[in-house]
Amino acid sequence: MPTDSRPFNFSAGPSAMPLAVLEQIENDLLSWQGQGLSVMEMSHRSDEFMQICQQAEQDFRCLLTIPEHFKILFMQGGGTGANAAIPLNLSQSGVVDMLITGHWSAHSKLEAEKYAKVHTVFSGAQDNYRSIAPIEQWRFSQNAAYVQLCSNETVHGVAFSTLPDLAALGLNAPLVVDCSSDIASRAIDWSLVGVAFAGVQKNLGPAGLTVIVVREDLLGRALPICPSIFNFELLAQHHSMYNTPPTWSIYVAGLVFQWSLAQRDGDLTALAAIEARNQRKASLLYSAIEQSELYYSQVDKAVRSKMNVPFFLHNPALTTTFLQQAKQQGLIQLAGHKALGGVRASLYNAMPEAGVQQLVSFMQQFERSHA
């Protein structure tokens, strides 16, 4: 298929990659920089791979303006692995606090309960995760080892517009953020964060790599049962090379970091330009939903995700036809998560504005023909 006729891919993850990155991979596949071997054939200890890995780390730090007192770790295990790694590294006091805003934070809770006592600060389960309770209603425990939240709920389409300032609330506990589905989509205020983690398979690359950004003073607290490959201190000491890292995923993520940095636009930093574009894409789609009599969103306007937009048809019997016709028009992987059904459009960084414009035109045309 010619590259100019590739469909627009709205998958929630693994998801669309920037075309320029795929072309670079194709170019490098058999012989990286004319060396006669593919990156996936290189020893992780080779000078060539070490250079790829160091560059990736440097570019990631630069893209997200991560301060020097945070370590960047390249790990395996995905978001689910990190859900275990966090309590295994940080739950020394035995109690952890969690904000439950949807499918993924509920998963984090289940995993953490294997290692610690989990206190729920609040849960949105009662209103089917359509909103986030105001901060006045949050109930923290007194002695939590950390407080964890998911900044963007990929399934329910609920996002924190800003991270809470725990210190301002009188808490000493570090904030842990699962930002798997909004990392690098907007700026992070690192002064509020203890640990941020993300599987890269949405905004930053292929599945297989998990990035952990951890404040240095939080290293060295792992429980004795923590597996070596999840031990943040060990990973930091070995520059993410305690064992064989996911070399191919690191290489591809490195290319995505470079692509992301190249999105710089005039006076805007790369991340600010990406954020502005994401804002435009989300506004376009949400206003099309608002103006329609066929589609609706269940999510409270104040907490709507700019990355994952779940929406529904008032006549659910039309959903299958909607998805089939969308696919025929080159708009693919739009089915909602199995827990919710309906439609979900994921608008990650690699989704061009033209893709959202085409989706909105299709939605309007579909509505006209089913009025």
Supply the residues annotated as catalytic: 104, 178, 202
**Choices 72-80, 135-143, 256-264, 289-297 (CB under 6 A): range interacting with ligand PLP:** 72-80
CA-to-CA dists, residue 257 to 10, 21, 60, 150, angstroms: 20, 10, 6, 22
- Return the sign of the alpha-carbon dihedral for residues 360, 364, 370, 371: positive
> Binding of ligand PLP at residue 80 (CB under 6 A)?
yes
Least distance in angstroms from the C-beta of 261 to ligand PLP: 24
Stretch that binds ligand PLP, among 73-81, 113-121, 156-164, 186-194 (CB under 6 A): 73-81
Nearest distance from C-beta of residue 50 to ligand PLP, angstroms = 26
Contact pattern from residue 25 through residue 64 relative to ligand PLP, giving x for each residue in contact according to CB under 6 A and a dash for the rest: ----------------------------------------
C-alpha span between 71 and 68 (Å, rounded)? 7
Burial class (CB in 10 A: 0-12, 13-18, 19+), 201: buried
| Site residue total, ligand PLP (CB under 6 A) | 11
Q: Is 111 a residue that touches ligand PLP (CB under 6 A)? A: no
Q: With beta carbons less than 8 A apart as the criterion, state whether 56 and 253 touch.
A: yes
Residue choice 9, 15, 101, 180 for contact with ligand PLP (CB under 6 A): 180
Do 91 and 112 meet the contact criterion of CB atoms below 8 Å apart?
A: yes
Angle between helices 353-369 and 270-291 (to 10 degrees): 0
Among 10, 49, 74, 104, binds ligand PLP (CB under 6 A): 104
Residue type, 23: E
Residue among 9 and 366 whose Cβ is closer to ligand PLP: 9
Cβ closest to ligand PLP, residue 59 vs residue 178 = 178
**How many residues does the structure list for the chain?**
371
What is the C-alpha to C-alpha distance for residues 5 and 358, in angstroms, rounded to an integer?
13
Instruction: Give the C-alpha separation, 179 to 353, whole Å.
Output: 23
Q: Which of 125, 171, 170, 169 is nearest to 145 (CA)?
A: 171
Region of 40-48, 75-83, 159-167, 325-333 interacting with ligand PLP (CB under 6 A): 75-83
Query: Contact between 282 and ligand PLP (CB under 6 A)?
Result: no
Instruction: Work out which of 57, 59, 178, 233 binds ligand PLP, going by CB under 6 A.
Output: 178
Sites for ligand PLP among residues 116-175 (CB under 6 A): 150, 154
Residue nearest ligand PLP (C-beta atom): 78
- The residues near 257 (Cβ < 8 Å, ≥ 6 apart) are 56, 59, 60, 63, 204
Q: Is there binding between residue 297 and ligand PLP (CB under 6 A)?
A: no
Please classify residue 276 by burial: count the beta carbons closer than 10 Å to its beta carbon, then call 0-12 exposed, 13-18 middle and 19+ buried: middle
Q: Does residue number 208 form part of the binding site for ligand PLP (CB under 6 A)?
A: no
d(CA 51, CA 69): 22
Based on the shown chain and the rule CB under 6 A, indicate whether residue 13 belongs to the binding site for ligand PLP: yes
> In what helix (H) or strand (E) does residue 277 lie, and over which residues does it extend?
helix 270-291
Answer yes or no whether residue 199 interacts with ligand PLP by CB under 6 A.
yes
Q: By CB under 6 A, is residue 78 in contact with ligand PLP?
A: yes
Considering only 74-82, 85-93, 109-117, 215-223, which stretch makes contact with ligand PLP by CB under 6 A?
A: 74-82
Task: Please report how close the Cβ of residue 79 comes to ligand PLP at its closest, in angstroms.
Answer: 3
CA atoms in the 13 A half-sphere facing the CB of 311: 29
The distance of closest approach from Cβ of residue 51 to ligand PLP in the complex, given in angstroms and rounded to an integer, is: 27
**Residues interacting with ligand PLP, by CB under 6 A?**
13, 78-80, 104, 150, 154, 178, 180-181, 199
